[in-house]
Amino acid sequence: MSTSFAQQYGPWALVTGASSGIGQAIARQLAARGLNLILCARNAQALDEQAEELRQQHEIDAQPLALDIGASDFVTKLVDGIGDRDLGLVVSNAGFGLKGLHIDQDPNELDAMLAVNARAPMQIIRAFAPQLIQRGRGGFILTGSMEGYMGFPLSAAYSATKGFVHFLGEAMWQELKPHN
């Protein structure tokens, strides 16, 4: 029996990093497929504008959730922001990179990048996997990078964070596969 995209992953999807770039494009694609969206990023104004645009264009519900997923307490705020919505698809897309010699990078910026690019996807999966397992269907999308397949000079820490995401995704695919 074939299951439609909305049946498999709906009725709600979460997209982090949704205010621009890849996250914004993913949100538009999901809205076009009929999923209601929780749009998460730091830029509240951009999220509000995008949510309104998606509501009008696709007749879905789109809720902005302005949140810094680099903050140590982001998971609690994210879970609270989702509430009791039937979340079926989680897109962990937020991220950023630092370029240049590793020894020249600001230690605080390195910590922030590690938090957003690696810790956040790990904690997001941990927070929402039980709900998806209980549903018996759903999915996670983790945004990676070609730089996650090998170390790149002048991008050492970014490559490392994306390598972490790559291997996290592979392992979780195996762990969650029995739960559909």
SS3 140: strand
Distances (CA, A) of 100 to 110, 154, 156: 12, 4, 9
Mean pLDDT of 22-31: 97
57, pLDDT greater than 60: yes
> ∠ CA 161-82-86 to the nearest 5 degrees?
105
Given the residues 158, 161, 163, 164, select the one marked as catalytic: 158
How large a percentage of the chain has pLDDT more than 70? 98
**20 Cβ contact list (under 8 Å, min separation 6):** 41, 43, 46
61, pLDDT greater than 50: yes
2, pLDDT greater than 50: no
**12 Cβ contact list (under 8 Å, min separation 6):** 35, 36, 37, 38, 82, 85, 86, 87, 88, 89
Q: What is the pLDDT of residues 66-91, one digit of tens each?
A: 999 999 999 999 999 999 999 999 99
SS3 5: helix
> In the predicted model, what is the mean pLDDT of the chain?
95
Model confidence band, residue 1 (pLDDT cutoffs 50, 70, 90): very low
Asked if 90 contacts 172 with a C-beta cutoff of 8 angstroms, the reply is: no
Active site residue 158: yes
Q: What is the pLDDT of residues 90-131, one digit of tens each?
A: 999 999 999 999 999 999 999 999 999 999 999 999 999 999
- Assigned token pair, 64: 């902005």
Model confidence band, residue 8 (pLDDT cutoffs 50, 70, 90): confident
